[in-house]
Amino acid sequence: MKPYKLSWGAHSLSLGNRTCIMGILNVTPDSFSDGGLFFSCDAAVAHGEKLADAGADIIDIGGESTRPFSESVSIEEEGRRVLPVIEKLAKRLSIPISIDTTKAIIAKEAIECGASIINDISAMRSDPDMMGVASKYGVPVVIMHMKGSPKTMQVSPQYDDLIKEIKGFFDKAIDRAEKNGVSRSKIIIDPGIGFSKTVEHNLLIIKHMDKFKTLDSPILIGPSRKSFIRNILEGSQNSDTRLEMSELETGTQASIAAAVLNGANIVRVHDVGKARSTLKIIDSIRNVNHDKA
């Protein structure tokens, strides 16, 4: 696997032999997996520290749910949710903090509070000022593929050639970012598992992750507890049986293992501890010396 080295400010990430883990911290009342669990500032900060202790390389903080059919929140409300958490965690953690937002003003204020990565599910299309913020502060930015918005993305998503269309989307998004001052070396791509994708689309993305390597950017993948895993696992069970979280987490670990074996550099997960154990095995398999076989 080609190594990548991201260096900015006081931070650096080496992406190659070891897969990096982005721990999810949702400061929302309505996220599909953990909505409301960390809605208070103190609970969110405590969970962020727990994620770091478990081995997270990045903490990704979001204040607006991106689950299918979700409504957007105001700038004021999103800022109220995330900025105090970022400010407190930045003083306690040495690892980089990512702000999960599509709003340029939230990204700017988050960086000024201590965040140092922008994770934009709209690939910097929702807010025309986002690329200016990324350029000005020189931070890495995650650009994700999605058709439509979270409110509309799961309404019959269709593709003529899934992988080709996603790659074409990234070609344009990367070109647009570079033309607006964003350094090519600081762009991370995310194919958008669960965003305007059917179950089959998600599986094809994971299976053909290696095809995105021609874009020459680090790849982030976020299958954690997504509905496609639930749909697959519940499909073989009695329809009246509700899937346990432990089973959903097992499906998540299988998904990230496959994605990393096929080329992913960063995994975005809820359970950092389980992911760390999974990735120790998967990275060892990836890195084994073929000449000694």
Calculated CA dihedral for residues 71, 144, 184, 268, nearest 10 degrees: 100
Write the CB contacts of 219 (distance below 8 Å, at least 6 apart in sequence).
188, 189, 190, 191, 209, 212, 213, 263, 264, 265, 266
Task: Decide if 226 is catalytic.
Answer: yes
CB 203 within 8 A of CB 228: yes
Strands 4-8 and 11-15: antiparallel
In order of 50, 66, 88, the CA distances from 91 in angstroms are: 15, 27, 6
β-strand 97-100 against 266-269: which pairing, if any? unpaired
Active site (annotated) includes residue 268:
yes
Contacts of 264 by beta carbon, 8 Å cutoff, 6+ apart: 19, 209, 219, 220, 221, 256
Phi, psi dihedral angles at 227 (to 5 degrees) = -65, -25
Considering the candidates 164, 226, 274, 292, report the single residue annotated as catalytic: 226
Q: d(Cα 210, Cα 81) in Å, to the nearest integer?
A: 37
Among the options 136, 268, 274, 286, which is catalytic? 268
Cα distances from 253 to residues 36, 194, 226, 263, in angstroms, run 24, 16, 12, 15
DSSP string of 20-73, one letter each residue: EEEEEEE--S--TTTTTTT-SHHHHHHHHHHHHHHT-SEEEEESS--STTPPP-
Q: Which two tokens stand for residue 149?
A: 């918005």
Point out the residues that are catalytic.
226, 268
